[in-house]
Structure 1
Amino acid sequence: MAEKLVVVGQGPAGLPLATRAAEAGFRVVGLDDDEWRVKRLNAGEPCVEGVGAAELAAAHASGRYIASADPADASGFDFCVITVAVRTRDGAPDLGPLGTAAGRVAPFVRPGATVVVETAAYPGTTEEFAGPILERGSGLRAGEDFHLGHSPSRAEPGNPRWRIGNTPKVVSGVGPASLRAVTYLYGRLVRETVPVSSPRVAELCALLEAARAHLDAALANELAIFAGQLGVDVWEAAEAAATSPYGRSGARPGPGLPGSCLPVDVAYVPWAVRGRAVRGFRLVEAANDVNAHMPAYVVDRIGLALNRRCRAVRGSRVLLLGLTPVEVAKSLCRLGARVRAADPRADSRAGDLLVPAGVEVVEPDAAELARADVVVVLGAPDCYDYDLVQRASRFVFDTRGRCRGPNVERL
């Protein structure tokens, strides 16, 4: 019989992993505490970026994938991967979701089973936080009776080139036997595994990758502010810089912190060293500050653009293409704008992307675009017809560099 894999969390990291594992021959249970999401997945609706309807249909057709909200369905697993997202609260990581996930599967850990944490957190989380919860719930010892490891998630929803199967996977384990078990699991799912000496190294690797992307975004965002003041098109400069063969030159500005966990992951770095190190992580803290202030800057630019068109923000009809960062929608509502939003992830029940009060979710058809005083290209998903956006809209404020034309102002 095929080996059983439980993937805890069926969001942007968990669902692609689950469907890939079903394709590779595992019997997969996608465990998620959101019953509405579970119903949608079992009805063939992916509901997250990174997995299309065809991929989910293939997983169901194989008979090797099912979504469930019942922890009892984890019984008898050979492998378990925890992918739940961790947020911050009052400047510190809130490990509650990870603790809940570990507690749900702990009673079903048996001798020889393997548990992998993919949730990004500060170095030491797997061994010092998740491990003890699993041990208490199972009565077994991590690294001795069952295998425990960490493998950073490298999922990038919407990237057509790099998918789970061809993206190298960093793997680690609590001891040599755990490392072998974790390497075996991912060796069935990806083309290349990269073993490291401990879960702490793997966790720091995840933070390093997130920090690098975060710093790139902060630099591009700060340049966008200066470019706007100088009357220079920052997007043209960024496109030219991307042709350099030396190092990373592909950073693009944006409206603020991405909708993913990346900025939260980066915040773990200064939090983890606070009180332990001689100096703080000043570079990351500065990047956090720049990126956190971008939504306010975007709202200011929208206000100035409307003012040039003899319109006030109050009473203006604003259509947002994308709802993240959500602070933009909230600020516009507070200023009295009539805010509509088009985002395939937007649903008050979904949990991952709540719709703020005062925002109406609509379809971005030609009529809706034409009625808006300003259409704001805000979110990252490439699910909009940008040619239609440019043609049908009276005015477009583009924070993502997707549109061009006489009626378009770019960040």
Structure 2
Amino acid sequence: MSLLVLGLSHRTAPVGLLERAALTGDSPRRLLHAAAAAAPVGEAALVATCNRIELYADVDKFHAGVADLSVLLAEHSGVDLEELTAHLYVHYEDRAVHHLFSVACGLDSMVVGEGQILGQLRDALGLAQEQHTAGRGLNELFQQALRVGKRAHSETDIDKAGQSLVTFGLERIADRTGPVEGKRALVVGAGSMSSLAAATLARAGVVELVIANRTHERAVRLAETLDARVVPFADVALAMAETDLVVSCTGAAGVVLGADEIAAAVAKRAPGSLLGVLDLAMPRDVDTAVHTLDGVHLVDLETLAEAAQATEAGARDVDAVRRIVGTEVDAFGAAQRAAAITPTVVALRAMASEVVSTELERLDGRLPELDPRARAELAQTVRRVVDKLLHSPTVRVKQLAGEPGGASYAEALRELFDLDPAAVRAVVGAPVSAPVPVQLRGDLA
């Protein structure tokens, strides 16, 4: 497997560009299919969150893969290719595996150690499986990434080094408006991020929780699980005047809460009170002009990016997770290289078995009077001799294959024994078994 990762994230692109590049509606599926159909690509998966867009692909040509995937990402995101290219990063083979494992552990998140990324990676794998763009290689890779992420959270306190984006955002709001406990909160949206925000607010002890969503039924379902109140989406402006904190994450293509609406809501509030507004949407839900309004403290993803850079995570846990990632990358690479030689070994043993069968049939023709018991003993002896001759070299070649450059040993076997390439390909093309679901802890699911 020649793994290629191409993408952009909060580390390489400004929030404004990420906002314009955000994939909405059916665009993730269309991009995924287009990537899988590209000539150099055998398999493809897409990780698209508010802070990153990454294409993972098994490619047979590096440069062609980079070129084709860059063009596709520009086309489907709507960002000019030249502008996009300046912010793209590319990782290949072991470096690509290292990147994905780091992402799974939360090392590459805006808030170091946040566990939400594990659920997002699981969703990315689910989408690729559903759309039939992930084969054996990406299935194994993402399954292992999920295991590595789970290991990092269970063996270290990396999740204490930072908080989820929701918690981090609420803390930034509380820096100015005071603790969330006892406040009235309005959540706009009922998707995964909004649901997480609503649940976090409920646990934090808000005195009243209000949900508003364009699809009223989804708002009702979320409210029922949290003992919250639902207001029609059209009444959001009225609800803001009666709340202390607004969290918005709708997935809409344009601004949902305008500066004029929020200014009108603030005018109806008690004099001197401060309205906290947390915008977790990408593209943003809240007009940036709200930053200039009196009586409002707006925290958006751009603000969070700046705050996160100034926040020091627990260095000891980060270092421990980095060591876990390094160890897991080495083990995954060795396992992949060893697995790559298996079809050659299987084909070699199949060829040897065929030679033995042919020679035994010839012996039967030459010595038809041979006693059946002697014939069976002779056949068993020949098979044992062949097995013993092949045992040491095949075991050793599997060991050597786990080391860097191990693929050359498979090539040497194929060349020395003149193995039929079609026989090797037949082993590689064996059916892929269904991936085993990875069970995550409740707080990471």
- Which structure has more helix as a fraction of its residues? 2
Structure whose CA Rg is larger: 2
Name the structure, 1 or 2, with higher relative contact order (CA <8 Å, separation 6+): 2
TM band (smaller chain):
0.3 to 0.5
- TM score, norm. by length of structure 1: 0.35
